[in-house]
Amino acid sequence: MSQSSFMLNSKIAEVIKNINKVIVGKEDAVILSMVALLAKGHVLLEDVPGVGKTMLVRTLAKSMNCEFRRIQFTPDLLPSDVTGVSIYNPKTTEFEFRPGPILGNIVLADEINRTSPKTQSSLLEGMEEANITVDGRTVPLKHPFFVMATQNPIEYEGTYPLPEAQLDRFLLKLKMGYPSYQEEMEMLARTSGTHPIDSLDPVMTLEELAQAQESVRGVYVDRTIEQYIVSLTSATREHPDVYLGVSPRGSMALMKAAKAYAYIYDRDYIVPDDVQYVARFVLPHRLIMTSEANFEGKTAEEVIEELIERTNVPVQRNVSE
Amino acid sequence: MKKLLLSLIYIGGFFLLLEWLWPLGILTNTQNTGVFYLYAAFCFFLAFMQVRWYIAVPLKLLGLIFILDGLFIPERIFSSGWWSILYEQLMFNAEAVWAQEWWNFTAFFRSLLFLVLLWLVSYLLHYWLVIARRALFFIILTFVYITVIDTFTPYEAQGAIIRTFVLAVFVLGLLQLEKEVSDDDRKEIKWKTAILALAPLVGAVLLAVAAGTALPKFSPQWPDPVPYLENVTGGAGTGDGEGGVQKVGYGENDSRLGGAFVQDDTLVFQAIVEDRQYWRAESKDQYTGKGWEDTLEEPVTGRDPGDIGYSLFEETVETDPSQGFIDFTEEADFGKLLYPYGMTTIGNLENPLEIDLHTQTGEMETRSGGDSVQPASYTFDYGAPAFDLRQLREAGGEDPASVREKYLQLPSSVTERTKELASEVVSEYGNRYDKAKAVESYFSSNGFEYSTTDVEVPEAEEDYVDQFVFETKKGYCDNYSTSMVVMLRAEGIPARWVKGFTGGEIKETDAELFGENLNAYDITSANAHSWVEVYFPDIGWVPFEPTQGFTNNADFTSGTDTDSGEPERSEESPEVEAPDQQQEGNPQQIGEEEGTDGSAESGREEGFLRNLLWWLVPAVILILPAVLYVTRLRWLSWYYGRRLAKKETPDTFQAAYRHLLVVLDKKVQKRGEGETLRAYAKSIDRRFETVDMQHLTTQYERLVYRKEERLQRTGLSELWENLIKKALS
C-alpha cells in the first residue's frame, strides 16, 4: 500500500530516514506517525508491549529535537501526575506550578487503559483543548503537541477501556505488529553495541515542523475529493454491521489526515489514494459495531476495507461548480 | 508463428465468405461475379495486412470506383463526362431511396451497395476471427445459409457443404490452437511444435472427409421441401419467382430468358388421352434479343366451347380423331385452356366459363364475369395431326402477308454470325421442311449440352441466341427453341415460339373414359416446356422440337413412295414414334423434362433481383450500425487520438484519458469501483511493462483533483497512442 514509487517530501524523507536508523521496518507506522504529527493529531497505538512503540516515539522526538515526555499509566496514577501541580514555595510564599509530563512536545502515554477514567480524561482533555486547567489556572500546552498513547489490547485484565467518545480524540489508531524474522535479526544486530538512538542527530527543527504543519493546512482538497470522503463516511452509517457510524468529526479527521499524507508525498493536493490509505487508520476506531457483528467476529477494519472497495472513486472533473 | 496461425485462420475465413458469394452469381444472374470475389479478397487482404486506415480506406474506395467504372461507366475515368454520369446515377438512386422505391435502383447502385456490403463484411469477419477470435457463430450461419440456398434455389450445395465443413473444422481448430498459444505468452511456439499440433488437425479433417465420402449414405428421408410444402399449403406458384426462389413452372413473362432453375415436381394437371400429347398454351411472336413478347391483339370473345373453330393447320392435314380429359390441380391458375394439337371442341366445363380466343397466339383464356378463372376440368375432342412429309416438302406458294409481317421479325441484336450460321446449316436443303429439320437437328450435336443449372443470362449488350449458340452452348428448352426460331427467321422462314407442357409421365394405363381404354398422365410444373412452330403455306403451323432429349410430339407420315429418294438423312423421316418408345428411347427425358418455359425464369430473375435488393438495403442498414458498434472502440480511439495529437489541451487530454480507461476496462482489465486511477495505472503498467499509464494518470490527477487548467508536460499523445495500441492489440 505504500507509495514508495512516488516522491516523498524532501524534509520528511530526511526525518523518516533518520527514524529508520533506529526502527527496523514499520514503514507504515513511521509514515502514519508523521501524518498525525503534521496534521496536529494524536495517535493511539494498540499493541502488546515490547514491539518498539516507545522507541518509535523517542526516535521521532529526537529527530525533531523535541521535548519528549513519557507517562506510564498505572491504576493509581492521579490526574495531577499528568498535568502537574501547584506547590507552595515558602521562599516566595506563593504557589508555584510544577508542570506535569503533558507539558512536553511529544508525549508518550504508555498503557493508557490501565489507569482510571479520571486520569485518562485529564490527558484526553489536554489533547482536545490544547491547554489544561490546573488549580483554576489555564496553562497552554506546548507547540507542537503530539500524544502517542499506547494501549494493551483490551481483553487483558485490569484495564479501563477508553470510552468510544474518547477514542475519536485520536486521529489515528495503529498497530505495530511483530517484526518479521529478518527485521528482528537486524534489530538484534543494531542494538548489540551502543543503541543507535544515542547517536541520533536531530534533522528537523521545531520551526520547520510548524512550517510543515502550516503547509499541510494549505493542501488543496477538490470538491470531488470532499464528495468522496463524505461518501465513505456516510456509507459507514448505513452499513448493516455498524451500530454507530463515523461522525462528521470523523470526516474532518479523514480529510486532515489525507492532507498530511499528501504533503508527505510532496503533493499539494489530495488524490483518492490518500483518502483510501489513511481511512484504514482514521475510521475503524470511530465505528461501533453491532453486537451481532462482534459475535461473528467481524471487525471494523473489515467494514472499512469493504466500503473502500465498494465506494465509487471520482475519476472525472467535477463540472457542477 | 502466431502470425502464421492468424493468417491461416484469416484465409479460412475468406474462403468461408466465398461460400456465401458463390451462389449469388448463380442465383441472381449477376454478371462479373469475379469482380466481387476479387474485391472481397482485396478487402480481406488489406485488413489482414493491417494496413493503416488512412491507406486502406482510400485504397478500398479506389478499388470500388474502378470496379464501378469498369462495369458501368463507359466514359474515361475522372473525365467530366464520368463525373456527370456518376452524379446522375447517384442523384437518381438517391431519389429512389428517398421515395423508397428500392426496385428502381440501377445496377450501378446495387453494385455499389453490394461492394460496400462486402467491405463491411470483410471488416466484420476480420473482427470476428482475428480480434474476437470467435468463428463458431459465423460457421453456423454459413451452414444455415448454404442449406437454405440449396433447398430453395437451384444452387447445388453439395460441394459447398463439404468445403464449408473442411474450412470450418480448420478454422475452429486453428482458433483453438491460437488461443492456447496466446494464453501462454512466454511459451514461444517452435515450428516443430506447430507442425506437430497442426498435423492431427489436418489428419482428422482429411479422415472425416474421406470417411464421409466413402460411407454409404441414406437417401433423403424427407420429401423435397419446396413441392411438399406447396402441396401442403395448396401453394400457388406458376413460377413467378416468389420470394426469389427460382423454380420451374408456367409463367406469363418471357421477356427475359435465361438463368438456372430448380426442379419442381408439383402436380399441375392430369390428362387422360390416348397418346402422350404436347399441351399447347400459347405462342409468342416478338423476339427482343433477351426473350419473347406478344404483339397485343384483341381476343375474339365468347367462343362456343362446342365449336372452337380454331385450328393451327389446314384441313388438308390428316387427323386421327380422339377424345381426352384434363383435370387441373390447385397448382394451375394461369387462366388458360391447355389443348393438344388439333383440338376441336371442349365439353363438360364445370362452370359456365367464357372463352376468349387470341387467334394469333392460340391462347384461350377462360373468364368468368371478366375475371380470369382456371377451369377445374374439361373434356375435349381432338384430331391428332399426322403431317404428310411429301406434302410438307412440296409446300410452296406465298406465305400470307399477315404471317410474313409478324413471324419474320428479328431485332437488331441478332448477330451476323447467327445469320451466317443459319444460312450455312440450311444451305444444302431446298425446301422449307428440310431446312427446318436441319436447324432442328443442328442442336442435337455440335457441342450443345442440356442443362438447367449452368445457364447464363445474356448481358446488357448480348443477344440471348448468340450467347447460347456460340458462347455457352448450355441450356434448356427456351434456349433451343428460341435459337431455332431466330435461325429460321433469319432464313426467311416464318416461325414462332410456343409454350405449354410436355406429355408428362404415364400414371395409369387403361384408364376408363368414354367407354374406351385410355392412358392417364401426370403433368407437373417440371413439364413446362417451349418448342417451335414453323409455318407452311396451305398446311399451317407445324410443331418442331429442337431441344435435346425431347422428341417431337406431332406425327409425320412418309405418305407415299417418294420418301426413299429423299436427300434427307435417314433419322429425320421416321419421326413416327409411339409415346412409350419415346420414354424408353430417351432415358434423359424423365430427368430432364423439367425444361420450363422461360417465363418462369425471367419473372423469377426479376423478382430475385428485386428481392436481393430488398435484402441488400436493410442488410447494409443493419450491418452498418453493427459494424460501427463493434468497432466503436477503434474509431473512437482514432477520434480521440486525432484530437489529442492535434492539440494537447486539458480538454482533449481528459477526453482521451477517459476513453483510454474505457478501452482498458473493456479489453485489458476491469477497474473495480473503488479502485483508484493510480492503483489501476500501476497494475496496467505492470501488465504492459511500461510506466506510461502512470505518467498519464499523474497528469490526469492534476487536472481532476487539483483543478489545474494547463498540462504539465507534453508528449502525452505519444504515451496515449502507445497504450491504446497495446490495449487494442
> Are A313 and B677 inside 8 Å of each other by CB?
yes
- Which of A1-10, A201-210, B179-188, B536-545 is least confident? A1-10
Considering A315-319, B534-538, B627-631, B701-705, the range whose residues carry the highest mean pLDDT is: B701-705
- A312 to chain B: which residues are within 8 Å by CB? 673-674
Domain boundaries, given as residue ranges, for chain A: 10-189, 217-310
* DSSP track, A101-114: TTSSSEEEEETGGG
Rounded to the nearest 5 degrees, what angle is found at the Cα of A252, between the Cα atoms of A249 and A255?
Answer: 150
Nearest CA in chain A to B705: A222
- B654 to chain A: which residues are within 8 Å by CB? 316-317
CB-CB contact of B699 with B652 (8 Å): no
Compute the half-sphere exposure of residue B679: CA atoms within 13 Å on the CB side of its CA.
20
Q: Which of A271, A310, A311 is opposite residue B705, by nearest beta carbon?
A: A271
**CB-based contact (8 Å) between B193 and chain A?**
no
CA pair distance B367, B365, nearest whole angstrom? 6
> Is it the case that residue A231 has pLDDT exceeding 70?
yes
Strand B286-287 to B495-501 pairing = unpaired
And the C-alpha cell for B668? 485489458
pLDDT (0 to 100) of residue B675: 92
The residue among B682 and B625 whose pLDDT is bigger is B682
Distance from CA of B678 to the nearest CA of A (A): 7
CA pair distance B338, B278, nearest whole angstrom? 9
Nearest CA in chain B to A318: B704
Question: Residues A81, A85, A88, A92: is their CA dihedral positive or negative?
Answer: positive
Angle between helices B107-126 and B80-98 (to 10 degrees): 80
Query: From the CB of residue A287, how many other CB atoms can be counted at a distance below 10 Å?
Result: 25
CA pair distance B473, B471, nearest whole angstrom? 6
> Are B704 and A309 inside 8 Å of each other by CB?
no
- pLDDT tens for each residue of B609-625: 666 666 777 777 778 88
Which helix (H) or strand (E) is B284 found in, with range?
strand B279-284
> Are B676 and A273 inside 8 Å of each other by CB?
yes
- Which of A13-27, B453-467, B637-651 is least confident? B453-467
Q: Which of A269, A313, A316 is opposite residue B676, by nearest beta carbon?
A: A313
pLDDT, average across residues B338-345: 84
Contacts of B260 (CB under 8 A, 6+ apart): B26, B27, B154, B155, B246, B452, B453, B454, B455, B601
Q: Residue A5 to residues B385, B481, B710: CA-CA distances in angstroms?
A: 108, 90, 24
pLDDT, average across residues B622-641: 85
Strand A146-151 to A106-110 pairing = parallel
- A310 to chain B: which residues are within 8 Å by CB? 673-674
The residue among B109 and A34 whose pLDDT is bigger is A34
**CB-based contact (8 Å) between B192 and chain A?**
no
CA pair distance A318, B1, nearest whole angstrom? 49
CA pair distance B475, B246, nearest whole angstrom? 16
**CB-based contact (8 Å) between A227 and chain B?**
no
In one letter, which amino acid is B318? E
Strand B371-372 to B363-368 pairing = antiparallel
> Are A317 and B702 inside 8 Å of each other by CB?
no
- B676 to chain A: which residues are within 8 Å by CB? 271-273, 276, 313
Burial (CB count <10 Å: 0-12, 13-18, 19+), residue A301: middle
- pLDDT tens for each residue of B256-277: 777 767 677 788 888 888 888 8
**CB-based contact (8 Å) between B674 and chain A?**
yes
CA pair distance A211, A188, nearest whole angstrom? 37
Name the one residue in this structure whose C-alpha cell is 415460339: B497
Which helix (H) or strand (E) is B267 found in, with range?
strand B267-273
Per-residue pLDDT band at B608 (split at 50, 70, 90): low
> Is it the case that residue A260 has pLDDT exceeding 90?
yes
> Is it the case that residue B476 has pLDDT exceeding 50?
yes
Name the one residue in this structure whose C-alpha cell is 391447355: B338
And the C-alpha cell for B484? 431455332
Q: Residue B415 to residues B404, B423, B486: CA-CA distances in angstroms?
A: 21, 13, 10
And the C-alpha cell for A4? 514508495
Name the one residue in this structure whose C-alpha cell is 524474522: A181
ipTM, two decimals, is 0.87
pLDDT (0 to 100) of residue A255: 96
- pLDDT tens for each residue of B189-220: 566 666 777 777 788 888 887 877 777 766 66
**CB-based contact (8 Å) between B696 and chain A?**
no
Rounded to the nearest 5 degrees, what angle is found at the Cα of A111, between the Cα atoms of A110 and A115?
Answer: 115
DSSP 3-state of A146: strand
CATH classification code of A217-310: 1.10.8.80
> Are A311 and B673 inside 8 Å of each other by CB?
yes
Q: Among candidates B437, B345, B360, B442, which has minimal Cα distance to B400? A: B360
And the C-alpha cell for A304? 472499512
Indicate the average pLDDT of chain B: 77
And the C-alpha cell for A275? 483518502
- B703 to chain A: which residues are within 8 Å by CB? 317
Q: Residue B436 to residues B263, B487, B548: CA-CA distances in angstroms?
A: 30, 9, 15
What's this model's pTM, rounded to 2 decimal places?
0.48
- B679 to chain A: which residues are within 8 Å by CB? 273
> Are B673 and A273 inside 8 Å of each other by CB?
no
Q: Among candidates B116, B90, B92, which has minimal Cα distance to B104? A: B92
Name the one residue in this structure whose C-alpha cell is 527543527: A205
Chain A residues 292-311 within an 8 A CB cutoff of chain B? 308-311
And the C-alpha cell for B151? 433447398
CA pair distance A286, A233, nearest whole angstrom? 10
Percent of chain A with pLDDT over 90: 38
Strand B555-557 to B292-293 pairing = unpaired
Domain A10-189: which topology?
Rossmann fold (3.40.50)
> Are A315 and B704 inside 8 Å of each other by CB?
yes
CA pair distance A106, A15, nearest whole angstrom? 15
Q: Which of B658, B702, B706 is opposite residue A316, by nearest beta carbon?
A: B658
- pLDDT tens for each residue of B17-69: 888 887 776 666 566 777 788 888 888 888 777 777 788 888 888 888 888 88
pLDDT (0 to 100) of residue A218: 92
- pLDDT tens for each residue of B81-127: 888 888 888 888 888 888 777 777 777 787 888 888 888 888 888 77
